[in-house]
Structure 1
Amino acid sequence: MTSTGQEKTMDADLDFNGKTILVTGSGRNIGRAIISEFASRGANVVINARDTETDREEAEAVRAEAEKHGVGALVVLGNAADRATVERLRTESERAFTRVDMYVSNAMHRMYRESFFDTTDDDWNYYLNQQLTASWYLAKAFVPGMQDAGWGRIIHMNGPNAWTGSWAAIPIASGKAGLHALTKSLASGLSQYGITVNDVNPGYVDVVRDSGLDDSAGMRERAAQAMAIKRVISPEEIAWTCAYLCSPRSGAVTGTVIDVDGGRPAAH
């Protein structure tokens, strides 16, 4: 079947040749799927994971997979909640690719289930830093380059707890709520420079988890049944959403939330 002119235009809109994307927490799961999606569409990729032996091996596997598409791929290890790590992400990315055009703040956190009474100050600081402070550091590092270029895409991986709260995960819910406020605030000022800033809210995604908590007692099946689609979501479905948000067709979409939650009732 012959492609129509419209189909060719749509393909071109999702062609990221000559652009570079950074994804934190991209050694596995959602982050890995995003790297794979963008590499397959021609983007150079910057892969970030924690600096442990397992994380290092995973990140190198993602790099090898990306390079099969003929794109440049860089691995920078370290915690994105650490300012020094983010500075290394900036300097090494700019050395390899001149600038970062798009980034996804996706660094994952360990599972947490504690009530208010059992939540410590260390817990509070850890989760706010992982979600909110890390995204602030990324913005400070990479927005100036986007501003100079007159174009950029920022995506924050968020979640429904930002709107519903969570007695069993107060620091996480608070960090996510703050992250959405950061999204709205950045979007309000950066749109004039051709930079969009959005949240993506995944539902229950089929990922490898460090803790077995979410997989116990049929949690996976219960989560699937709570969604209209009656199945869990694939990491690739999150990655496709990110590709749209980074395309020219999404230029009027900023400061908002895209739910990829399988049809659960909206929390906002």
Structure 2
Amino acid sequence: MDTDLDYTGKTVLVTGSGRNIGRAIILEFAARGANVVINARDTASDRNEAEAVKAEAEQHGASALVVLGDAAEPATVAALKAESERRFGHLDIYVSNANARMYRDSFFDTTDEDWHRYLNQQLTASWYLAKAFVPGMRDAGWGRIIHMNGPNAWTGSWAAIPMAAGKGGLHTLTKSLASGLGRYGITVNDINPGFVEVARDSNLDTSADTRTAFADAMAIKRPIRPEEIAWTCAYLCSPRAGAVTGTVINVDGGTAAAH
């Protein structure tokens, strides 16, 4: 039982892992012995963040690789596959975590460009990852896939229709992949985070009042820590979760319980 959460020899890819939840997941697996593949967009600031995560992972003794680019682009996923296999030989686990900048606009102001951009980021990127890495997992007879989702997948959102539609489709992709891949030893699950204490984009309201309101909507009355999401990932990828697939794990601080 003590070795169930030991990932020595496994290779883990996390998209959008230069900061926040993605960074925490990378460091969790690095501390547990895994090789880690870090992905972030190819900008100066994102590159610096990714290299910093790489250095932190290596402090845990992990072998770490950075591959830059938008996971919603086929060329980026092709590079992730080529570079990870060149360095580590095989990918065992991936977490589809890359997220677009928060979108807030009504249906009447949402453009076709908005629709396609956010649908690609929330849904199509995960399709590309599956097409790239699932065949290798099937051939190995083992694999773990986690999609980082969100509450809009179930509630919808008038102010963020493209994002909500993408997240809803992502959960259907999760269930569809799980239904066929379990026979190959591959599990596929969603994690649904609540309000997480992270560095946020400048277009989001992060005032003290807003943060307090989000926290008060949860039973635990505080933001969720990125490490708490990472711990859930470690569990879902372990032998202890071998029978957990096609479902969603809510790490939302008891949002529903608070109402």
The verdict on a shared fold, with TM-score over 0.5 as the criterion, is yes
Q: Write out aligned runs for 1:150-169 (5 A).
A: 150-169=141-160
For the residue of structure 1 that corresponds to 2:205, the secondary structure is helix
* Paired position in structure 1 for 2:135: 144
1:195 aligned partner: 186
Aligned to 1:64, which of 52, 55, 68? 55
Distance 2:102 2:127 in 1: 22
Shift of 1:212: 4.4
Q: CA deviation at 1:41?
A: 0.2
The equivalent of 1:4 in structure 2 is none
Question: Hey, which bits of structure 1, 4+ residues long, moved more than 3 A?
Answer: none
CA distance in 2, matches of 1:99, 1:84: 19
Q: CA deviation at 1:217?
A: 6.4
* Alpha-carbon distance in 2 for matches of 1:213, 1:235: 18
Matched, 1:43 2:31: no
Q: 1:117-152, CA deviations, whole angstroms, 9 ceiling, x for partnerless residues?
A: 010111100100001000000000000110111000
Of 243, 247, 260, which residue of structure 1 is paired with 2:238? 247
The reply to whether residue 129 of structure 1 matches residue 120 of structure 2 is: yes
Structure 2 equivalent of residue 3 of structure 1 = none
Q: Distance in 2 between matches of 1:249 and 1:150?
A: 17
Q: How do 1:184-223 residues align onto structure 2 when only pairs under 5 Å count?
A: 184-216=175-207, 218-223=209-214
Q: Which amino acid aligns with 1:207?
A: V
CA distance in 1, matches of 2:133, 2:179: 17
Do the aligned partners of 1:15 and 1:42 also contact (CA within 8 Å) in 2? yes
Q: Give the 3-state SS of the residue equivalent to 2:189 in structure 1.
A: strand
1:175 aligns to 2:159 (yes or no) = no
Corresponding residue for 2:78? Answer: 87
Deviations along 1:227-253, whole A, 9 cap, x unmatched? 000000000000000000000000000
Gaps of 5+ in 1: 1-8
CA distance in 1, matches of 2:91, 2:181: 16
Paired residues of 1:166 and 1:173 also in contact (CA < 8 A):
yes
SS at 1:76's partner residue?
Answer: strand
Output the CA distance in 2 between the equivalents of 1:213 and 1:137.
Answer: 28
How much does 1:194 deviate? Answer: 0.2
Equivalent position amino acid for 1:265 in 2:
A
> In angstroms, what is the RMSD of aligned CA positions?
0.9
Is contact 1:111-1:211 (8 Å) kept?
no
1:115 and 1:131 map into 2 onto residues whose CA distance is 18
Q: Which residue of 1 aligns with 2:23?
A: 32
**Length-normalised TM-score, structure 1:** 0.94
Partner Cα separation in structure 2 for residue 210 and residue 223 of structure 1: 17
SS in 2 for 1:27: coil
2: distance between equivalents of 1:217 and 1:177? 30
Q: Give, in whole Å, the separation in 2 of the partners of 1:213 and 1:83.
A: 29
**2-structure distance, mates of 1:214, 1:197:** 33
- Report the AA paired with residue 250 of structure 2: D
Identity of aligned residues (%): 78
Please give the alpha-carbon distance, in whole angstroms, between the structure 2 residues aligned to 1:94 and 1:212.
37
| Maintained 8 Å contact 1:159/1:176 | yes
